[in-house]
Amino acid sequence: MTDEINSIRKYFQPIQPSIKWGDQHISYKEFKPSIPLQNYIYCYWQLKTNKALDENFSYRVVSDGCVDIFLNADQTEECFIMGFCKKFTAFDLEKKFNYIGIRFLPSFFSLFFNIHANDLSNKFQRLEWVDPDLALWAGTLKQNKNFQDFFNDKFESVLQKIVSKKIDHRFYQAISQILIKHGNVDVEKEMIAGLSPRQLRRIFNKNIGTSPKAFANVVRFQYILNAKPSKQSLKEHKIYFDVGFYDQAHFIKTFKTFYGVTPSEAFK
* pLDDT tens digits along 70-87: 999 988 888 999 999 999
With a cut of 60, say whether residue 22 has pLDDT above it.
no
With a cut of 80, say whether residue 4 has pLDDT above it.
no
Pairing of strands 57-61, 89-93: antiparallel
Residue 80's SS3 state is strand
Nearest CA to 177 out of 216, 225, 227, 224 is that of: 216
Give the pLDDT of residue 215: 96
Instruction: Give 203-247 as a DSSP string.
Output: HHHHHTSS-HHHHHHHHHHHHHHHH---HHHHHHH-GGGGGT--S
* 85 neighbors 125 (Cβ within 8 angstroms): no
| Bigger pLDDT: 109 vs 22 | 109
pLDDT band at 33 (very low <50, low <70, confident <90, very high): very high
With a cut of 60, say whether residue 132 has pLDDT above it.
yes
* pLDDT tens digits along 225-240: 998 877 777 776 778 8
Could you tell me which residues come within 8 angstroms of residue 2 by beta carbon, excluding any fewer than 6 positions away? Answer: 167, 169, 172
pLDDT band at 259 (very low <50, low <70, confident <90, very high): very high
With a cut of 70, say whether residue 48 has pLDDT above it.
yes
- CATH number given to 15-162: 2.60.40
With a cut of 80, say whether residue 122 has pLDDT above it.
yes
With a cut of 70, say whether residue 152 has pLDDT above it.
yes
Average pLDDT, integer, range 170-176 = 90
With a cut of 60, say whether residue 166 has pLDDT above it.
yes
Q: How many residues does the chain have?
A: 268
With a cut of 60, say whether residue 31 has pLDDT above it.
yes
| % of the chain surpassing 70 pLDDT | 94
The model carries a pTM of 0.93
With a cut of 80, say whether residue 17 has pLDDT above it.
yes
Domain ranges of the chain: 15-162, 169-266
β-bridge mates for residue 68, sequence order? 82, 103
Give the pLDDT of residue 168: 83
Distance CA 43, CA 55 (A): 29
Average pLDDT, integer, range 107-132 = 95
Give the pLDDT of residue 130: 96
Give the pLDDT of residue 37: 96
With a cut of 90, say whether residue 189 has pLDDT above it.
no
* 50 neighbors 19 (Cβ within 8 angstroms): no
| Bigger pLDDT: 149 vs 236 | 149
Task: Using alpha carbons, list the distances in angstroms from residue 143 to 48, 139, 150.
Answer: 19, 9, 10
With a cut of 70, say whether residue 120 has pLDDT above it.
yes
Average pLDDT, integer, range 121-126 = 94
Element (H, E) at 53: none
Give the pLDDT of residue 243: 83
Helices (H), the chain: 3-11, 108-113, 127-130, 132-138, 147-162, 169-180, 197-207, 212-227, 231-237, 248-259, 263-266
**Which CATH number is 169-266's, of 1.10.565.10, 3.30.420.40, 2.60.120.10, 1.10.10.60?**
1.10.10.60
Give the pLDDT of residue 205: 96
